[in-house]
Structure 1
Amino acid sequence: MSRDEVFEEHRPLLFSIAYRMLGSVMDAEDVVQEAFVRWRKVEDGEVRSPKSYLSSIVTRLCIDQLRSARARREEYVGPWLPEPLAVEPAGDPAVLDETLSMAFLVLLESLSPVERAVFVLREVFDYDYAEISRIVGRSEANCRQISRRAREAVAARRPRFDPVPGQGERLVRRFVEACMSGDMEGLLELMSEEITLWTDGGGRVRAARNPIHGPDRVARFLLGVIPEAPEGLEIRFARVNGQPGLITYHPDGSPQGAATFDISGGRIAAIRFVVNPEKLRSIPPLEEV
């Protein structure tokens, strides 16, 4: 197997690590590409485990990027949400759905870069502590402590999703029908009492600057902004970040927004809607859907 073929074999894993670390498709792809450049410079026979070597490069690049990004995110206009991932990766759907979800990725933002790395490598990808120790440059004992703290922090606020097949998709379709028909009562029936809506415009397009809580406020906000939507806007139902969702498109076919829906107790518990154009660049145009 050639060096390039070895890298391509590991590319899905490397992207999966980078995306969960950074919450950005474009940044994750950049990190993987930088890892490829470094991989090409390695002398033959220098690396015994390509997986470990490449995971180390990607993880360390992500840690560096998270440290520099923290200040920028503190200055971000409105709620910060991960860049939507509208392509289903390969793997066990039961695992991928939760760890790819926007709710989960936002939760990981509360961890330090090293905590996030240890948690992702251990809890998502099942790396052993000896390997994690080599990757992050900490002792095994320290990695175990970091993992325990991160696991406890995440468990306290970990989102819970209903696993009923097809239920989320049906609720999203009913949600869109109620929105488009202006059916206030229909919307309220679909939402849990604890529902929260986040909209991420990044200060580039109009969006709510703060989360909106409660079914009545969420419904009124949605029914208030829908009449302002561009004429000819197209809606396509999709799996976004492994969750029930939808993508909206401008009349020219370019993506306008992407939304994910958390379902709990048979109702919509949270909506996260990304409309920042810079975060939609990885979503294919309508003509390719």
Structure 2
Amino acid sequence: METEAIFRNFQPLLFSLAYNMLGSIMDAEDCVQETLLRWEDALKQEEKEAIHSPRSYLCAIATNWCLDHLRKAHVKRETSLSNWLPEPVVRTNLEEQVEIAETLSIAVLRLLEQLTPLERAVFLLRQVFDYEYAEIARMVGKSEHSCRQIIYRARQHLASKRPRYPVSKELHEQFLQRCLQATSQGDMQALLDLLAEDVTLYCDGGELRWPMPLHGSSDVARYLLAINEKVSRETEWSWKLATVNGAPGMLVHAYGRIDAVISCELREGRIQEIDLIVRPDNLQHLQQESIWWGSVY
């Protein structure tokens, strides 16, 4: 296989790895570009014969680029962890095939942000991309034993915070629509019927200065109704179903732009978590897309 064809073949994988590590589309694209440059440089220096597995070689470059990037940004990200949410990967055509190898949900990326950069890298390489421990150890410069310990700790950390039973796409979409409808109609009781008592809402910004995250159905419902009241007073708004990080989600259009991306997690027939992405920097990549908007509430 030609060297350019090799890189093109693994480009979706590299983007997926970088995005799941960094939570940023722009940074992931920068990582892929830098990986290409280093790949080309290695070939120019006649290291081709030493590259036994292009997949592992390229992923090692991308992983270490991401580790360096995360370590530089660690202090800044740590101070804003309470309201950090990733830049969403959105598909407005619900039938469209995602062109990247794997995209973790908003909720899982938020959880992974609580891990150290090294823990995050090892977890993704093993759990998402199915590398053997020996390969992971070589990539990150640690022993196999250390990598196994890292995986064990990460699994324990995530196990209690993720839904045990997946729900169907249809049910997921239904809950999202019912939640938006209840919010738009100012129906407090309908919202409470949809939300788990211990529901948590995460939001990365906005003009309503409520402390984040919000816990409990009453506080979350009041917050959603407060947002609706403010926006409805100032402008018309509409929503559209979309695929957000591989799962059903919604785009909210207000003030002449995409004003929010919403995703949620369900557990035992109720909404357990709502992730509300409103920070302009996280939505900038969506503003150029041509999107049809349906009913206005």
For residue 283 of structure 1, the aligned residue among 274, 281, 286 is 286
1:163 is paired with a residue whose SS is coil
Shift of 1:122: 0.6
Change in CA separation of 1:59 and 1:167 when aligned onto 2, cut-off 3 Å: same
- CA separation in 2, counterparts of 1:103 and 1:237? 18
| Aligned residues of 2:18 and 2:62 also touching (Cα < 8 A) | yes
The correspondence of residues 38-77 of structure 1 with structure 2, limited to 5 A, is: 38-43=38-43, 45-46=48-49, 47-76=51-80
Change in CA separation of 1:77 and 1:107 when aligned onto 2, cut-off 3 Å: closer
Q: Which residue is 1:227 aligned to?
A: 229
Q: Which residue is 1:259 aligned to?
A: 262
Identity across matched positions, percent: 42
| 1:85 counterpart = 2:94 | no
- CA separation in 1, counterparts of 2:227 and 2:169? 31
The correspondence of residues 45-194 of structure 1 with structure 2, limited to 5 A, is: 45-46=48-49, 47-76=51-80, 79-87=83-91, 89-90=98-99, 100-194=104-198
| Aligned residues of 2:163 and 2:267 also touching (Cα < 8 A) | no
Change in CA separation of 1:104 and 1:36 when aligned onto 2, cut-off 3 Å: same
Q: What TM-score comes out, normalization by structure 1 length?
A: 0.89
Change in CA separation of 1:219 and 1:150 when aligned onto 2, cut-off 3 Å: closer
- CA separation in 2, counterparts of 1:85 and 1:160? 24
| Aligned residues of 2:16 and 2:100 also touching (Cα < 8 A) | no
Shift of 1:167: 0.3
Of 123-132 and 160-169, the range deviating more from structure 2: 160-169
- CA separation in 1, counterparts of 2:209 and 2:242? 22
Q: Which residue is 2:94 aligned to?
A: none
- CA separation in 1, counterparts of 2:268 and 2:75? 37
Shift of 1:54: 0.6
For residue 217 of structure 1, the aligned residue among 219, 230, 244 is 219
1:157 is paired with a residue whose SS is coil
1:282 is paired with a residue whose SS is helix
Change in CA separation of 1:216 and 1:205 when aligned onto 2, cut-off 3 Å: closer
Shift of 1:240: 1.1
| Aligned residues of 1:199 and 1:208 also touching (Cα < 8 A) | no
- CA separation in 1, counterparts of 2:223 and 2:24? 27
Please list the CA deviations of residues 5-26 of structure 1 after superposition, one character each: whole Å capped at 9, or x if unmatched.
2111101111111111112222
- CA separation in 2, counterparts of 1:62 and 1:228? 39
Change in CA separation of 1:191 and 1:157 when aligned onto 2, cut-off 3 Å: closer
1:162 is paired with a residue whose SS is coil
| Aligned residues of 1:103 and 1:159 also touching (Cα < 8 A) | no
- CA separation in 1, counterparts of 2:126 and 2:9? 21
Change in CA separation of 1:239 and 1:218 when aligned onto 2, cut-off 3 Å: same
| Aligned residues of 1:63 and 1:114 also touching (Cα < 8 A) | yes
Q: Which residue is 2:25 aligned to?
A: 25
Change in CA separation of 1:157 and 1:220 when aligned onto 2, cut-off 3 Å: closer
1:100 is paired with a residue whose SS is coil
Cα RMSD over matched residues? 2.2
| Aligned residues of 1:193 and 1:214 also touching (Cα < 8 A) | yes
Q: Which residue is 2:4 aligned to?
A: 4
Q: What TM-score comes out, normalization by structure 2 length?
A: 0.86
Please list the CA deviations of residues 63-101 of structure 1 after superposition, one character each: whole Å capped at 9, or x if unmatched.
111111210113338511121121363589xxx5xx611
- CA separation in 2, counterparts of 1:118 and 1:240? 24
Query: What is the aligned length?
Result: 281
Segments of 5+ residues of structure 1 without an aligned counterpart are none
Letter in 2 for 1:179: T
